[in-house]
Amino acid sequence: MASTTTLRPHRTTAGRSDSESDVRYAGVADRWGRDVWVERDGVRDVLRHRGEEPIAGFAWGRRGIAARELARAILVDATGSPAVGERFCRDLTHAVVARLPEDAFELTRDEVLAWLEQTSRFSPAARPRPAAAAPS
């Protein structure tokens, strides 16, 4: 059964120090559509789609395919594991993404990993790491 634990969405990053979290996921809905970014060390980049089928965009504040794909993309980015993203994207969609404010949201990587650990007893220390490059 899916966890009902919810994360605390933040509307802005004002007043927060960079030491609170090294990675942030931010979404904004405006008249041009919905955009989601990942911010690392103050540098913002587009959050990349991680599913097998292309979609027009991400959604939040509701359930559905676009919301599930947002959950999958956040999980893959936060953990580095497509398998974890696939396994827990539906749970994160129902417990968190569907409950985010429709106009804007912000989640930290630490909040996502804490939710994942509480939901699954998944240990971030035990998560798969990218393979090291072979010596030349």
pLDDT in tens, 61-109: 999 999 999 999 999 999 999 999 999 999 999 999 999 999 999 999 9
Taking alpha carbons only, the member of 114, 118, 7, 24 closest to residue 74 is 24
pLDDT-derived band of residue 131, with 50, 70 and 90 as boundaries?
low
CB-based contact 47:37 (threshold 8 Å)? yes
Between the alpha carbon of residue 71 and those of residues 34, 88, 89, 127, 135, the distances in Å are 15, 8, 5, 18, 35
Domain residue ranges of the chain, discontinuous segments joined by +: 18-118
